[in-house]
Amino acid sequence: MGRFRDALSASGLQGIAEVKRRSPSAGELRAGADPAALAASYERVGAAAISILIDARFDGSWDDLRAARSAARLPLLAKGFFSTDEDLRIAREAGADAALLILRDLGDETARRLLVVASDLGLDTLVEAHNPEELARATRLDAPVIGINARDLATFAIDRLAQLALVASAPHGRIIVAESGIESRAQGAAAELAGADAILVGSALMRATDPAQKLAELLSRPLVKVCGLTRAEDVAAAAEAGADLAGFVLAEGSPRRAQGVLSVPETMLTVSVEVGEPSGAEADLVQLYPREAGKVRGRDAVLLREGREVAKVLDLPWQESDPAHLERARAAKGRVMLAGGLGSDNVRAAIDAVRPWAVDASSALESVPGVKDHELVRAYVEAAR
């Protein structure tokens, strides 16, 4: 396994930060961008790897790759429209650790040959697919790292839902990279929960005032959930504060029961909070609690994406305290959403103690059950960040 594959195999969602000055679809993004300075800053904020556009259509060149190599120790992905053995040799000589192979432009015979050549040169590859047929081809070619691009290279349109479906259907045992169209933490988390090991982000970074800070923002954890939302104005306040997850309680008997899952901006994912069995409500995720006699719900929940468990929700006992709650959460394996009595006054200490994947607050953010106090929401999100 090469340096690129190694870096993307680390636990948690990894980030491949891109350097590109322009794109055919968006035009100028960051004229005069310095690949060496950007590469060094991406490394400082925790990028797993760096992607360098070397194609002239993106105002890139091989010298950009060489400049990045001089400034950063991270694995470098040479990104261009490669089709010959010579392309790969130049990439390796310029300092690349991996090269992009776009299946839309390559037949199976050529792709198979390039995979062998890359291996002989000590290069990893990112084999890019845009549709189910190309994903099947990448699987047959035994590509170790597969990129799922949300952008149609013919029309430049972005289809995130199609991308997530492809990510979810990708074969186990491969490293899966979600490419294009990721501009928020929630969109990165959606790819992560669908099964992506990494996200490759370009345009969103290049448009940002501080590209490295934007990358750090996209990868930062925990995600922040505001639950018990019943009104559109409270959803808007949570979104404006920077919350990533919007929770809607659909369980009967709850004083925070919503009439349904409300619309949210693209910077958020929706979570339907239910008891017993999922209702089939249209939400990105389901937070499912067990039934417990005499109570609205049991203690802990699971977070489901299309019926598959993607995280554990560790909560307090219903209307009770548990002094060992944080210790129990800290010992849990896998993704943990921490819930139970959280608010602006204690969420930071809870995060420091547990290091959860997400935090969840509801009653501490209310003026009355089901009605959020917007100042409390803002203070909670700010403290969690």
Indicate the domain borders of the chain: 3-219, 223-384
Encoding tokens for residue 362? 């509801």
pLDDT, tens digit, 9 for 90 and up, residues 303-350? 999 999 999 999 998 888 899 999 999 999 999 999 999 999 999 999
**pLDDT for 1 beyond 70:** no
SS3 266: coil
d(CA 286, CA 241): 23
The CATH H-level superfamily of 3-219 is: Aldolase class I (3.20.20.70)
Contacts of residue 154, defined as CB under 8 A and 6 or more positions apart, other chains included, come to none
Q: Which helix (H) or strand (E) element contains residue 76? A: strand 76-79
For residue 85, the Cα-to-chain-centroid distance in whole angstroms is: 33
Q: What is the model's pLDDT at position 299?
A: 93
**pLDDT for 157 beyond 90:** no
d(CA 118, CA 137): 18
For 23, list phi and psi in degrees, rounded to 5.
-145, 150
pLDDT, tens digit, 9 for 90 and up, residues 79-100? 999 999 999 999 999 999 999 9
d(CA 244, CA 217): 12
Mean pLDDT value of segment 165-187: 95
Contacts of residue 309, defined as CB under 8 A and 6 or more positions apart, other chains included, come to 302, 303
Q: What pTM, to 2 d.p., does this model score? A: 0.94
Mean pLDDT value of segment 197-210: 96
Largest CA distance in the chain: 71
The percent of residues above 90 in pLDDT, for the chain, comes to 88
d(CA 306, CA 31): 42
pLDDT, tens digit, 9 for 90 and up, residues 245-300? 999 999 988 889 999 999 999 999 999 999 999 999 999 999 999 998 878 888 99
pLDDT, tens digit, 9 for 90 and up, residues 42-70? 999 999 999 999 998 899 999 999 999 99
Q: What is the model's pLDDT at position 280?
A: 92
Q: 223-384 has which fold?
A: TIM Barrel (3.20.20)
Mean pLDDT value of segment 208-223: 97
Q: Which helix (H) or strand (E) element contains residue 37? A: helix 35-44
